[in-house]
Amino acid sequence: MKEDCSINADSQSEVKEWLNRARSDLRAAKVDLAADPPLIEDALFHCQQASEKVLKGFLTFHGKPFEKTHDLDRLAQVCEGILPALAAVLKPVRPLTIFAWKFRYPGPSESPPLKEAKDALTATIKAVERIRSALPKVLGG
């Protein structure tokens, strides 16, 4: 991708903000999993959030409006329409949508295994890195 950035300053700033927030959520997920005992539910929430925010940053860069949603499948479909090569790296993060709300509210629920959270973090890191690499360096790509 070329180094210059042809989007307007407001959009450029918004893309950077989405990417910064995605990085913060990734950091939070890592901290949650390093805790003793690990905060599995919180880590999964932050993986979902990091995935959502990097997808929204990518869509903002490409001038594609999106609805207010946590649905990673819907966001990924639009992103893949722009860059089909993202399909492989986005497939493992699509199921994380449920963690935007599950465990965030009272009610019966069983904590997932630690391996699931670690796998989610690995998949999220790959998706975030791949999407960032598809953006100009001036935006954090």
Q: How many domains does the chain have?
A: 1
Output the pLDDT for position 24.
98
Is there a domain that residue 74 lies in? yes
Q: Residue 58's domain spans which residues?
A: 9-139
Is there a domain that residue 80 lies in? yes
Is there a domain that residue 2 lies in? no
Is there a domain that residue 35 lies in? yes
Q: Inform me whether the pLDDT recorded for 2 exceeds 70.
A: no
**For residue range 33-61, what is the model confidence (pLDDT) as tens digits?**
999 999 999 999 999 999 999 999 999 99
Is there a domain that residue 53 lies in? yes
Q: Mean pLDDT, the chain, as a whole number?
A: 91
**For residue range 96-108, what is the model confidence (pLDDT) as tens digits?**
999 998 887 787 7
Helix axis angle, 9-34 to 40-61, nearest 10°: 160
Is there a domain that residue 1 lies in? no
Output the pLDDT for position 108.
74
Is there a domain that residue 3 lies in? no
Q: Where residue 64 sits, what CATH number does that domain have? A: 1.20.120.330
Is there a domain that residue 4 lies in? no
